[in-house]
Structure 1
């Protein structure tokens, strides 16, 4: 669905729209999910009900924790950077992220046990629920120097070709709206969260992205450049953001085999050497 974007600054808009994205790393394109049948739509309605229950009260397992305690029932997250915004993401991306936490691709002492406590049907349901939560309020704009926003906007739109860094917009779309289902929505996430994730890649302790490209990008950036692009993207706002309908059935419409994430291993970035396929979440 068409997304209308309202960046904080007119200058940021000009920077994003100016010129083609720099592409120094060939990435596989997203796979278009199969068309939904009436049965698929019925399953999605059931997932929304089930997913809301998991978000509010937790899953069936005794160790399950309600997502809303940290991310909010509407998926808005918070501005501290500890709990990211889940609303506006595609269901498949949320589903895959939970798998990454469970399998160690994204080491996190809080999220790992939460993800492992969810059964497969619960992963699907709660991912579908938060993908449909597209009315969460945006966080307040992050305070920022205009010069820092200019630098961040240029990196987002054009990259840093002299450092081998492609434009953020090449994969995450103009103004960070994402390209469902594989490339996440990053506009409006807190600057602290975005910067922390880039630093995790820079240090080689996070995986889960196509071909480990984000580690290569982050390692080529200075800390100042990471901060600039994080602050810029945190200040981008979407006037209308509706996830693509085809992204609502993460396991069934898109699947996990044959995607960029399951093609091999990420050296030094996949926890205790676990494969990208990741161990299955613990069943109740």
Structure 2
């Protein structure tokens, strides 16, 4: 009887082992609907908690608030992930963002950056810059720079229409003027770092305070994907100096 009982127990263990092997070796296991995704991190806040969910400030469409909170939709994923690292490491300062970025894992930063990078953002979504007033000097600074002061044209890195040139140089069209002005001051005052070779730090420090708001207004007026900025009536397109055209 004992040998019969042992044989039964052995058969049960063998059957159980086969079942476990079959379940663990399934070629396409059913993905869990609770697996982390970029959207889930944006909506839940990931490790930072629900009170820090990205959408509460940046909106469900990633468009920002039109004031001091920037657009994230459509920005390059690597750029977004680097900014979160900068916030976490103290190269950028913002009480909420610095804490949130420090709580997210590297994987959460990457997947939420990919999520926002994949959001569609069309120029048609843009609203006219609030209280925009044509400033010829701002247009020249953006498109041509100021060689006499050693200021390089913003368009060199950010594109003549604000769409950005290459990786690492973000497209800035559609960003709110108050946000752009704040960031220029942060660069100028040494409160923000992390740009390649210190370009933004250097260029911003060469700006005068009274040039910052007009330049930010001009940036907010750009219309991406047009290949040229949308100049307002009475705001002529700046041209490079040429003795033949009398400019």
Normalising to structure 1: TM-score of the pair? 0.63
Counterparts in 2 of 1:55-70, with a 5 A limit?
55-62=42-49, 65-70=52-57
Per-residue CA deviations over 1:135-161 (Å, capped at 9, x if unaligned) read 373244222222x2x222111110011
Alpha-carbon distance in structure 2 between the residues aligned to 1:113 and 1:127 = 17
2:111 corresponds to 1:118: no
2:193 corresponds to 1:193: no
Per-residue CA deviations over 1:196-247 (Å, capped at 9, x if unaligned) read 1111111111101011121111111111222221110101122589xxxxxx
Alpha-carbon distance in structure 1 between the residues aligned to 2:61 and 2:107 = 20
Instruction: Give the gaps of 5 or more residues in structure 2.
Output: 1-32, 228-247
Greater helix fraction, Structure 1 or Structure 2: 2
TM-superposed CA distance for 1:80, in Å, is 1.5
- 1:11: which partner in 2? none
- 1:80: which partner in 2? 67
2:76 corresponds to 1:127: no
Alpha-carbon distance in structure 1 between the residues aligned to 2:99 and 2:112 = 16
Aligned counterpart for 1:141 among listed residues 129, 133, 141: 129
Number of equivalenced pairs: 192
Q: Secondary structure at the match of 2:46?
A: coil
Normalising to structure 2: TM-score of the pair? 0.72
TM-superposed CA distance for 1:133, in Å, is 0.8
Alpha-carbon distance in structure 2 between the residues aligned to 1:180 and 1:129 = 20
- 2:215: which partner in 1? 229
Instruction: Give the gaps of 5 or more residues in structure 1.
Output: 1-45, 242-284
Q: RMSD of the alignment, in Å?
A: 2.3
